[in-house]
Chain A
Amino acid sequence: MNASLTDRYVYAAARSVPEAQRTDLERELRERIGDATDALVQTGRAPADAERMALVELGDPAALAASYVDRPLQLIGPRYYLAWWRLLKLLYAVVLPIAVAAVAFAQVLSGAQVGDVIGSAVSVGFSLVVNLGFWTTLAFAIAERSPGAAAAELTWNPEMLPQLPELGRPGKLSELIASIVFLGLFAILIVWQQFGIPWVGALESIPLLNPDLWSFWLPYFLVLIGLEMLFAVAIHLWGWNWWLAAANLVLNVAFVVPAVWLFTTGQLINPAALDAMGWPWGDAGDVIVPVILVVVIGVAIWDVVDGVIKTVRGRGGAMPTIGRI
């Protein structure tokens, strides 16, 4: 049937526009297809070929219908793209690390194995990446399709301009030295406490940390301290960027999670040292343990957040892109 191709085209285009505009679109399309076909027939083409050519020139009926009712053919257009991108970056930079760290911490507190802790942190992180991305995008895609919603735009203003990266390297050198010295002292303390701590009377010849941990965990912490030193050098050389901020998060988690786990499961401190110090000191243990935990975790979280803040300030909030380091 000759007319069927046109009929099918008109049907395909009209079904995706609102009822009220449908009749109008159908009539206009039939006029246009008919006139174009007639013109092609006059140049000597067979009617069937002419009709086909006319439809090919019109293009995808869905695209034509979309242009007819001014429906956007992109998920998020230029009006919302930057707002969407900034919000997504912010969510990933803030919500993701906090949530993953919180899940890992909760697992550690409940006495889960290291493998389980890492597994659940990774799976929560993954589902958060997917969910944050999906719902944010969905919200903006809906906004893109709602008329007169332009008021919700995040308008740009000059205060949002990034600070120029600090050039004051000498100031940073002192930071580097302080970091290295502190980390070095920390490493020395871990080794030294094995032979007792002379200025604490009760521990003159008793290791503070559980000597069993030398089989794995104490060397692990020493290696981490070495990595932290390399990290401090990296910060000094390149300044903060998103890769280093992420590395900072990883290092903090790698340190705090096992440390807290060992501490809360009673494996960290040498039982002999506890005996020698007369632990628990009455009811004080109920207060001291949570305080130590909160301080350790709080310091780690602050360190991660601080890294992110410095990165955002230095980089204008740019997300990691290959080659930007």
Chain B
Amino acid sequence: MSTDDTTAGHLQELRRGTVVLACLIRLRTPDYGYALLESLNGLGITVDANTLYPLLRRLEKQGLLTSEWNTDEARPRKFYRTSDAGERLAGALTTDWHLIDAALTRLTTGDER
């Protein structure tokens, strides 16, 4: 990346909220931390493990995700799933995302109204 620290910092801020939204949408099918990390990064939503794991825990605490330990394999894994409250939040965030996108588009094209 050729971007300097300032740009990197602003990009990180811009993306912070979108990671939450991406998690909520992606975890409609239950999955565990590392698989989620891989699939988000594969989709181009870059997120760091040190950001994602604490985020998952926070969302669970807020009741937006539910979790369940899967002990079928040798390594027990915590599977997260979007709760009903998480589903509602995802809806609200998506709506807002589109509003912002539309507003920015109007700003860019100069059609302010």
Contact = CB atoms under 8 A, between A and B. Distances in A.
Contacts of B53: 28, 32
B49 interface: yes
A31 B78 contact: yes
B84 to A, nearest CB: 23
Interface string B73-108: 001111000000000000000000000000000000
Contact of A31 (B50, B54, B57, B77): B77
A31 B73 CA distance: 11
B75 A31 contact: yes
Contacts of A71: none
A28 B76 CA distance: 9
Given A59-B50, A67-B54, A30 B34 contact: no
Contacts of B63: none
A226 interface: no
Interface string A180-204: 0000000000000000000000000
Nearest to B77: A31
A293 to B, nearest CB: 65
Nearest to A25: B57
Interface residues of A, number: 14
Given A32-B53, A36-B49, A59-B50, A27 B34 contact: no
Interface in A26-82: 27-28, 30-32, 34-36, 39, 57-59, 67-68
A68 B56 CA distance: 11
B34 A35 contact: yes
Interface string A209-252: 00000000000000000000000000000000000000000000
A57 B50 contact: yes
B34 A32 contact: yes
A31 B49 contact: no
A182 to B, nearest CB: 60
Size bin of chain B's contact surface:
10 to 19
B17 interface: no
Nearest to B53: A32
B77 A68 contact: no
A32 B33 contact: yes
B33 A27 contact: no
A280 B31 CA distance: 98
Interface string B19-55: 0000000000000111000100000000001100110
Given A27-B69, A67-B54, A32 B49 contact: yes
B88 to A, nearest CB: 25
Contacts of B50: 57-59
A57 B49 CA distance: 9
Contacts of A59: 50
Contact of B33 (A31, A57, A67): A31
Contacts of B76: 27, 30-31
B79 to A, nearest CB: 10
A28 B53 CA distance: 9
Contacts of B78: 27-28, 31
Contacts of B34: 31-32, 35-36, 39
A59 B33 CA distance: 18
Contacts of A30: 75-76
Q: Which of B50, B53, B69 has the most CB of A within 10 A?
A: B53
A23 to B, nearest CB: 11
B38 to A, nearest CB: 8
Contacts of B32: 31, 35
B75 A34 contact: yes
B7 to A, nearest CB: 23
Kindly list the 4 A-B residue pairs having the minimum CB-CB distance in the complex, ordered from nearest: A35-B34, A34-B75, A31-B77, A67-B54
Interface of A: 27-28, 30-32, 34-36, 39, 57-59, 67-68
Given A31-B32, A39-B34, 6 more contacts: A28-B78, A31-B77, A31-B78, A35-B33, A35-B75, A36-B34
11 contacts: A27-B78, A31-B32, A31-B34, A32-B33, A32-B34, A32-B53, A36-B49, A39-B34, A58-B50, A59-B50, A68-B54
